[in-house]
Structure 1
Amino acid sequence: MSELHRPGGELPLTEADFEAYRQIAEGYPPPTGYNPDRLIALRLVDSDPYAPGGFIPHDPRAAAQGLTTAVLRDLTRLTEQVAHIPVLERLAEHFDPHRLYGGPGSEFLSTAALMNARLGEVGAAALKEFLSVQPGEPADRDPAILRLGVERTRTALRRGVHVRSIYHRSAHEHDQTREYVSAMVADGADVRASNMPGPRMVIIDGRHLFIDNLVIDGAEGNSGWHVFDRAAVAWVRGLFDLFWDAAERWQDLCATREASPLSERQLRILRMLAAGYAQQQIGSRIGLSERAIAKELRLVRHALSAQTTYEVMAWYGRQQLSQETSST
């Protein structure tokens, strides 16, 4: 046992210890009632065998050197023990595959940078499939980041990874996103579009799931979770298939949109109105202001030569009926 861990050997010294050492160093006994165990443990004093109750002082620099030696010895021992930790963790590679429970369930990634870094790391090691859902309204992004995304997708496709992505239908009208998705499709990725407001997610090889943060209040807006619990990932993988089956092929959307007088954003507003939402409720649900909703409805009335929103909704109802009839 090192001096640091002996009873009474903890630092720092108290004012009473300093005063007792000063008196002993000057040749006097320590104050009455003082317990010298701490000074003895630190090798600052020793009992005087020839003077009962007396003490012999030692050079504190020698005591400091002895304590340093003891601490370094303890640190060496701790370092050797820490070196075993990664070796033990590697054994999980042999344990997890044979358990129904595949280890810890998830990890919180507190910033967008951490999310992107982990996605890049796991995605670069994908072997079978890369699935993603991007349900939000498209927005302009850094061209360099988009080029990196295209290159990552191409690299994965060259390795034989099956890439499937679902975007919101409005993505087709956003020039930058449309070009990005078209490049993915040209390289062999499968892309579909949907009106459903499903959650943003990425699933890699059926073992890794990346989702938005809905747990920690006050966290950064683009923080999220890396989930690797097998049961949870498998369940969400099945949910992805439901979204996929209900979505429209990107190529079919391209052909459909060419024949429509309205934008996808405008059609989305009409779908919300048809679902029973008031005009004032729609903006917060699709990320637009009430003024932007009113402007879009004015453009719709102009495009359809309609005087009122009622006429617009009558037109929308006929369009829906026509699509249902043609599909049957």
Structure 2
Amino acid sequence: MADARESGGTPNALALTDDALALYERIVRGDGQVEPGWPGLDELLAIGLVLPHLFDANTYLASDRQYVWQLLVDRERAAIEQSEELLGQSVERLRELSRFFAVLPRSATGDTDSGGIEFMKNPSDANAAVASALASANSHVYTAHPKDRQQEVLRISEVNDIERLERGIGMRTVYPDTALVRVPENQWVSAVTLHGAEVRTTAFPFPRMIIVDDAFALLSDHQAALAHSRTGWKVTHPGMIGFIQETFELLWHVADPWAGRIPRTTKTITNPRTRTILNGMSEGKTHEAIAKSLKVTTRTVTNLLSPVYKALDIEAGDRFRLGLWWAASDERDLEAERIQE
């Protein structure tokens, strides 16, 4: 398509050079790796037909066509408001919008044209969509699970997750802090982290989400009348997936590493006296009360716990995370010091 230009040298938003058209066709078909300065790239960016990938500076994605349509309409309206002399040109370009979009290459799936967002009205639809996406994963899988997961679900997930990890697919998962004291999640984390999975927890509330590569996401449904823990919105629009991934990255940034990922060794982290202290803390006792029962100073209790904090890579004084680790630790079953009354 020949390059048409407005008076004053501003590119006409309803025309593309042959280079830009060829590049756009390449991008909508999934080949978004583009070197800086590639012929036609600046043209596509100026119009809004493509947008840069959030996590890869040299990769570009096709924008939603409805968004671009509205963007072009708004631009022409702004031009009309600025100068009545451009009224005739702007009206003509508005009439050409349909022709312009008709000649643009379309993606094979058509998701970009349809909006790329579909409501999964029942759990079976949602599960099928997730299973299909996971089967074709080739880069990464990010998940956020705000609620407890059933033990049988985690057992099945463990087998499939390890198979993907062994194929080199990256995996990041976020759980609420309450999962740290649940046996099913601990067993799952112990298995998958050995194969390279990364797991974090947070006390902040967050939505359920599953992201597969740059091609698929499933979000929880937040419509009060339709909400269901196993339904949600299937997203395949590249711009929306980029936004969802950025949201996950923000969640990942504020989350803490899973306490249960501490490597197990033949040496224990605690000794009989520190186990006595930790047992007292788990009962809600203060350091002062524990120190009195042990007939030592409060400072001694603090000093005795210091090596435990260090071994667990927990900030000294973070009783909450220390308590979470102790609640799930095998060392609870070891003998504690007997207190002489």
Which of the five TM-score ranges fits, normalised by the shorter chain? 0.3 to 0.5
Q: Which has the higher helix share?
A: 1
Structure of larger gyration radius? 1
